[in-house]
Every structure is written in structure tokens, then in C-alpha cells.
Structure 1
Amino acid sequence: MEFYAENWLAIIAAAAAGFVVGGIWYGPVMGKKWMGAVGLTEEDVKSGNMGLIYGTTFVLSLVASTTLAHLLTYFPAAPLGTVVLIAVGVAAGFILPAIGTNYLFSQKSRTLFLIDATYWLLFYAAMGVVHALL
């Protein structure tokens, strides 16, 4: 299997998988609870520049996927479970502490942290699955 950093199909597909996870998580699964936790209404959300928001989010997902792909080049023969654990470990070891620190200092709720932290774990798990399979 040709691995990761040069596999642009995997990078794009993994970014898309994470993006889809976000749409599901912040839509039907946790959308209303998330809006309440951040103090937004549906009208507030709809009034945002959706093209800019979704476009930039996808570009940032590509950055995350490319970075994960680069890390995974050090594990060229790793099985699916290992790749997913590495990806989730990136989220648990880097992203969760960073957002947790920000949320503590900005006095955000534990609910918002749990919603966002779970999303990032799922986002990286989805990317890990795609990178492992492609």
C-alpha cells in the first residue's frame, strides 16, 4: 500500500470524512445542545457567512489530514486499529488539552468542552479509518 503523505486521495477523503462527522455531530446529534452551550440561536447560525465558514473549515480539515498523513508515514504497515489509535491519540494528546485550556480561561462550560472534545475524537477517528483504508 502506498502510504500517507503522498496519497492525496486519502488526505482529501479523510478531510471529507472529518467534515461529514462535524455535520452530523453539530447537526442532528448535538446541534441544539451546542447552540445552547455557545449562546447562539438558529437564526444566529443561519446569519453567518456559510460559504466562508464551511470553505475555511474544509481547508482546515485538509491541513489536519495532511499533518496526520505525515505522522502516519512513520507507521507504514500499521493495521487499521493502530492507525485509528494514533489518530485518536493526536486528538486526545494535543487538541483536547489545548481546547480545555482555552475553555478554562474563557470560562466556557463543561458541557461545551465535552461536546467539542467528543467531536474532535470522532473527527480524528474518522480520518484515521480513511487513512488506514486508503
Structure 2
Amino acid sequence: MELNFLAILAAAVSALFIGFVWYNPKVFGNAWMKAAGVTEEQIKGGNIVKILVLSLLFAFMLAFILPTIVIHQMGAMGMVGGDPTIALPSYDAFMTDYGDAFRTFKHGALHGFIAGLFIALPILGTNALFERKGAKYILINSGYWIVTLTVMGAIICGWK
């Protein structure tokens, strides 16, 4: 099983598109700015090229590791050290029987959602609590990541 780099790239880019919508002033942008304690002038004063490039890099890093969470067969690959050419014959038999099991957009979305809920939310929530941010801040930011990881998981798992 090889990684689908087009799916990983598409998943990474999807994070930016979702962010453009999610943090738009007509959606959650104004509420987020208020909850984060930032002004429109501060937002406009940032280096947008640097922000977008680094955001895409971080999204790519996340999309690169996401197959291990959303594709069950990656566990079998890990059991053979990542090199199926040195695996026992049972690996080939397993992949023949189960190579495409649960490889759907729907199943990937489920695992992406679970990752957002049980990984992103606790991390962002903990940081926000120590930053003395409120529930609205936590819900807006973690909501973005739950939706984003759901979409990323769907793309990565479903696109074979």
C-alpha cells in the first residue's frame, strides 16, 4: 500500500479552503476576532504570504500523518515495518482479503471527525484555558479543526 500524495495534497489544500469559509466575517470570523481579542487592523497587519505558506505546510504535515488514523490497512503496513516486500505471505493474504475494506469517504470522515473531537479539541481546549480564552473561542477553533479533519479524513481514506 502506497501513500496517495495527490489525496494528501488535496486534503492539505482543503484545510485552507475550509478556513477561508469558516473564518470569514460572515460566518465565524467576527465572533472569532472578538473571542480571540484581536482587531481587524491586527489581522490586516499580518504577513499573509507567510501565514498562508506556513498554514499549508502545517496542513500538509497533518495530512501526511492522517492516513495512519483513517486507513485501517496502514496498521498492517506498520506490522511489516513499512516494507511489504519483506513481509510474510500472510500479509499478502490479508491485503488480498481486506485491502479495500472500509476505504470509503464516509469511513474516512468518521475517523477524521473522531480525531478532531478526541485530539484537536483537547489540545486546543487546554491551550485556550491557559490563555484565559472563553468557551466561544474553544468552540470556534476546535469546530474548525473537527470539520477540517473530517473532510481531510474523507479525502485521504476515500481517494484510492
Could you tell me the TM-score, scaled by structure 2's length? 0.76
| Aligned match of 2:138 | 113
Answer yes or no: is the 8 Å Cα contact 2:71–2:108 preserved in 1. Answer: no
Identity of aligned residues (%): 31
SS in 2 for 1:48: coil
| Aligned match of 2:8 | 11
Answer yes or no: is the 8 Å Cα contact 2:106–2:158 preserved in 1. Answer: no
Q: Which runs of 5+ in 1 are unaligned?
A: none
User: Structure 1 residue 40 and structure 2 residue 38: aligned?
Assistant: yes
Q: Output the amino acid matched with 1:25.
A: W
Distance 1:125 1:72, change over 3 A: closer
| Aligned match of 2:19 | 22
Q: Which runs of 5+ in 2 are unaligned?
A: 74-99
Q: Output the amino acid matched with 1:24.
A: V
State how many pairs are aligned: 131
Q: Output the amino acid matched with 1:118.
A: G
Distance in 1, matches of 2:139 and 2:23, equals 13
| Aligned match of 2:129 | 104
Q: Which runs of 4+ in 1 moved over 4 A?
A: none
Which has the higher Rg, Structure 1 or Structure 2?
2
Q: CA RMSD in A?
A: 1.5
Shift of 1:99: 1.1
Could you tell me the TM-score, scaled by structure 1's length? 0.89
Which of 120, 127, 135 is 1:95 aligned to?
120
